[in-house]
Amino acid sequence: MGRLGYDAALALQDRCVKERRMGGLDRLLLLEHPHVITSGSGSDPAHVLLSAEALAARGIEHFETGRGGDVTYHGPGQLVGYPILDLKPDRKDLHAYLRALEGVLIRALAFWHLDGERLPKHTGVWVGGAKVAALGVRVSSGWITSHGFALNVNTDLSYFRTIVPCGIPDREVTSLTRLLGQEVSVEETGEVVADAFAAEFGYGQVVRRPGGP
């Protein structure tokens, strides 16, 4: 979908959730955001390391969100995925859903022969002990999902120094480009992730709609 402001993405998710609740299709929204920090429902304000004025000076917005998890950064060069799914009747397990999203990203990383892994007690996907993808989801009434995951593709990782990423102070953050030693595009990564998502969740066919749902 290209680059979309965080407030616009929230409004889009809200519309898609309402449509799904009324019998619409499951969707996976794939996009980039401008520089933005988001704080989840369980976040510690101290994990945002710059003042509001300092963030604004660097062109970084800050949003409190309704998703789970702590604080994270989104920005150019990062693939953000927002699955809008109805988990009824047989997927009504939040922990299983999180593990499935991690499974999507582990499948995608395997395309580049990277061994993605889960770490005990830490949601997300890691390679060599460094975090390459973060998760933060919301499940609304009726078991409809929103929010989702963020995979660092060719992200400027210096922006993560403005926060304590996901509230974990002693773990490095990495990207596909750093891991591979070569540039990887967000567009290519989106294609790989879409196919991995279809495989993980058992969708027989994915209908791609560039530019919007």
Closest residue by Cα to residue 168 from 22, 70, 35, 68? 70
Q: Return d(Cα 67, Cα 69) in angstroms, integer.
A: 7
60, 139 contact by CB (below 8 A): no
- Is residue 16 part of the annotated active site? The answer reads no
What pairing do the DSSP bridges indicate for beta strands 78-84 and 27-31?
A: antiparallel
In the set 166, 173, 186, 193, the catalytic residue is 166
Which residues are known catalytic residues? 166
